[in-house]
Structure 1
Amino acid sequence: MPQEFVGKGWSFPVRADETGRIALSSNEREIEESIRLILATAPGERPMRPEFGCAVHDYVFAPADATTAGAIGVAVRSALRFWEPRIEVEDVAVSFDLADAGCLLIDISYVILGTNDPRNLVFPFYVIPREESEVPS
């Protein structure tokens, strides 16, 4: 019964399987791909479903600081609550990639409903860092 709750769907990104048919994802992989799709889609990007996606893209030009990290966490939590009813989001933590100043790592802890299966997914999000000459003195 719990696996029926998760379902099956087209793999993301869409690709062909070894038989030439559209590849399908199921179980935990289906949910992980769904989360990535939600986070990678900006609202308004899909003409037939303009409200779909996550407002995280509003922060591409924001500074990589604690305020932006907090706003991204709120946007991710809100989008996943609305668009992915098969999970319960436990935590969203946004941290800074020490090797890349323009990369924020979004760490999502969630539980698959119906199975109580705890999961974790890290989604890299890139902001466009300011040039040194753009920083006001």
Structure 2
Amino acid sequence: MAEIAFPYRIDARGRTAETSRTGHIRDLIEILLFTTPGERVMRPTFGANLLASVFAPTGAEEAAATLALIQSALQEHLRDLIEVQEVTVRAEESTLEATVVYAILETGETRADSFRRALP
């Protein structure tokens, strides 16, 4: 079954762009990672606030806390779709990259997807 692609766009046929189930789950992870809690009106706890963590103090404890928050958000909001196995985050120059290794519960398929954003 086809799902609506993220970000929303019109495809070459002039219709809403679609993606596969696997692509949709990847899109959901990306949305969750880069959404700030409180940003969604009807879902005030939705989001991992990843971009804000870049400006937090640095150190081993802060890095561990950030990863725990991300894993917690993924578990809370996507637990019916995925099982998170590993999360890594790194910032280089003006880019933030998060890599999530997860298993899709429907199929058992393990995937590793990376998500990048330019830092503000």
Q: Which runs of 5+ in 2 are unaligned?
A: none
Partner of 1:63: 57
C-alpha RMSD of matched pairs (Å)? 2.3
**Is the aligned partner of 1:93 residue 2:88?**
yes
**Distance in 1 separating the partners of 2:15 and 2:39:** 27
Contact persistence 1:11–1:25 (CA under 8 A): yes
Q: Tell me whether 1:48 sits opposite 2:42 in the alignment.
A: yes
The aligned residue for residue 99 of structure 2 is 107
* Amino acid across the alignment from 1:107: T
- Aligned-partner residue type, residue 122 of structure 1: S
Structure of higher RCO (CA pairs closer than 8 Å, 6+ residues apart): 1
Give the superposition deviation at 1:67.
Answer: 3.0
Report how far residue 36 of structure 1 moved.
Answer: 0.3
- 2:37 counterpart SS class: coil
Normalised by the size of structure 1, how large is the TM-score? 0.72
Query: Partners in 2 of 1:23 and 1:127 — Cα distance?
Result: 27
Q: Cα gap change, 1:59/1:126 in structure 2, threshold over 3 Å: closer, same or farther?
A: farther
The one-letter code of the counterpart of 2:85 is E
- Residues 69-124 of structure 1: CA deviation (Å, up to 9, x unaligned): 21221111111111112110011123453xx2x65532211011121111001234
Which secondary structure state, in structure 1, belongs to the residue aligned with residue 111 of structure 2? strand
- Deviation >6 Å, runs of 4+: none
Deviations 1:6-65 (A, max 9, x none): x64321110001221211222211111110011111111112322221133442421344
How many residues were matched structurally? Answer: 119
